[in-house]
Amino acid sequence: MKKPKSGKIMIIGAGGVATVAAHKCAQVPEVFREIMVASRTESKCKAIADDLRNRYHKDIETAGVDADNVPELAGLIGSFKPDVVLNLALPYQDLHIMDACLLTGVDYIDTANYEPLDEAHFEYSWQWAYRDLFRDKGILALLGSGFDPGVTNVFTAYAQKHFFDEIHYLDILDCNAGTHGHVFATNFNPEINIREVTQMVRHWENGKWIETPAIIDEGSIHFGFDYPIAGVRDSYLLYHEELESLVRNVKGLKRARFWMTFSENYLTHLKVLRNVGMTRIDEIQYEGCKIVPIQFLKALLPEPASLGTQYTGKTVIGNIMTGTRDGKPQSRYIYNVCDHEDAFNETGTQAIAYTTGVPAMIGAMMVMTGAWQGDGVFNIEEFDPDPFMDNLNKYGLPWQVVEHAPLPGKV
């Protein structure tokens, strides 16, 4: 029997998602008794702390730390002694933060799977390789507690528990119907965003991965989907990491796809940037200095955390699932609608950060309270979805369940 947790959480990162997660933790002081926000740039952490103090009269600790320096991070964890480390830093840093948690015996949570710095490729295999290490240490690593991955995984687990004996077809649809007033901007870290959407697309069908062209290449697959409230939006087939774990953990799955909306303006800018070499991730020489083009581009683009000041409109993200119950065909659409202006009024961020930061806090709450327990490395759909779903309604991301016609195999 593990000893009860004391209510101390360390949030690593100081961007938009970390800002939301810190706000939501401060709203639940009975669970999160003490909060630390740590990042390479402590001034950003202090800005979050000042905002929380003004809004909730909640004092939090801050620290500067290099999350790539495992001994330094382990030292900070050892001095603060959190029950949970919530990793909201960059995906490149996942393994280093997991290493620090192993050294200190602290539970670990993240929202995005590991991606090597020198390769635009992400998969869970690197983190799944830590299963025995975390199990032997007697601690838990909860992977993918954002929205997608995260809530979309929990939607699937909830549907499998309550509506299906088997889910055969899964389509995850992510729509941002908001406008931010900039000619071109990304809703989260530009480097991570652009690396993600310029990759070859994959989806799961009949027991294997099928590859199709990237969203900005000729032959990309897209169709118009009529989203609740947002209306018809062009939605592109895209590879997303939750597919990798869901095809392992969902009974009877025959096909799994992920779709995301993109405007023609966004795609045009992205094509031009790629064609002139600005999305490259390798180093080049420029006037005697080494620079990485995509990192230089990141410095030129608007900071995602700043977009909320002008953002209007909504996000609509959810799953259409088709399968059987008692031998009869069933189909359900579970989705959430989030408003950019509401997110900004509550946390000073836009809805993309809000929809990731809220489930990050809820995942931490599940672990902190003992609602979810285990030793080893787990994806979020491996736990009971009901308490998580209840807390989505309670803490700002209410969801709807409706019957919906299944999406066709070819669109």
pLDDT in tens, 188-201: 566 777 777 778 89
Pairing of strands 84-87, 289-291: unpaired
Tell me the angle at which helices 385-394 and 151-162 cross, rounded to the nearest 10 degrees: 120
The backbone torsions φ and ψ at residue 280, rounded to the nearest 5 degrees and listed phi first, read: -65, 145
The backbone torsions φ and ψ at residue 38, rounded to the nearest 5 degrees and listed phi first, read: -130, 140
Place of tokens 């032997």: 136
pLDDT at 388: 98
Residues in Cβ contact with 74 at an 8 Å cutoff, skipping those fewer than 6 apart: 99, 100, 103, 104
**CA–CA dist 376, 392 (Å, integer):** 25
pLDDT at 277: 83
Closest CA to 9 of 87, 73, 66: 87
Statement: the pTM of the whole predicted model exceeds 0.85: yes
Pairing of strands 314-325, 166-176: antiparallel
Peptide bond into 29 cis (omega under 30): no
pLDDT at 332: 98
pLDDT at 228: 97
SS3 335: strand
Closest CA to 181 of 14, 354, 307: 307
All structural domains of the chain, each given as residue ranges with its CATH number in brackets, are: 151-347+398-402 (3.30.360.10)
DSSP code of 171? E
Name the stretches of the chain with pLDDT < 70.
1, 3, 118-120, 181-183, 185, 187-190, 304-308
What's the gap between Cα 378 and its chain centre? 15
Encode 105-124: b = buried (16+ Cβ within 10 Å), e = exposed.
Answer: ebbbbbbbbbbeeeebebeb
pLDDT at 172: 98
